Amino acid sequence: APISINNLRFRYFSSSDMAFRVGFSVSSSSTTTPDVKNQGTSNETELEDKSSTFGLSINPGIEKHFEGTDRLSPYVGAVLNFSMLSTKDVDEELDGVTATSSYESETTGGSTTFGLNLVLGTDWYISKHLYLGTEVGFGFSTTSIGDDEVTNATGPDTETVTTVNGSSFNLGPNFNSAIRLGFLF
């Protein structure tokens, strides 16, 4: 998508060359998919598969701006990154014995990410209060992937199986391919 809004960022200039910033995003999605079993038979059963996700990201930081030209404002800065994601999938399945009664299989999981980026960016002022900007960075992030829990509810019986997940660590350059459009109030 050439134009999208993946987060909102606010800056407060404490002086002409120092700014505090915070970016955040909240996302949520839910999908319900019909799943017809034994289609065209006397045992045709309509089931539903549901999946949902919720994500939250908060990115506070600081920027040191330098004099450029009348319209160009280069800066360096540091940004803390924190995000979390939770997922839930509920699938209705047919009971293998009767092939007519159903049960639910529920899978939950998620992850938490923490990181620090050193950034280099620039803002180009189209007019006095409107700018375009971009930035690149170098930093690290660590992601802890939560354990997946699968719960099968077959009638009065419930069985839960836990899959232990690990973590990941990333270090290196990063680039946000978006061009920012900003307003100065």
Q: How confident is the model at residue 157 (pLDDT cuts 50, 70, 90)?
A: low
pLDDT above 70 covers a percentage of the chain that reads: 89
Mean pLDDT score of the chain? 85
Q: How confident is the model at residue 3 (pLDDT cuts 50, 70, 90)?
A: low
Contact between 159 and 152 under an 8 Å Cβ cutoff? The reply is yes
Residue with tokens 């019909």: 34
Pairing of strands 72-94, 148-154: unpaired
CA distance 86 to 83: 10
Residue 97 has pLDDT above 60, yes or no: no
Q: Say what the pTM is.
A: 0.76
* Count of helices and strands (H, E) across the chain: 0, 10
Residue 151 has pLDDT above 90, yes or no: no
Residue 75 has pLDDT above 90, yes or no: yes
Which pair of structure tokens corresponds to residue 134? 């971009």
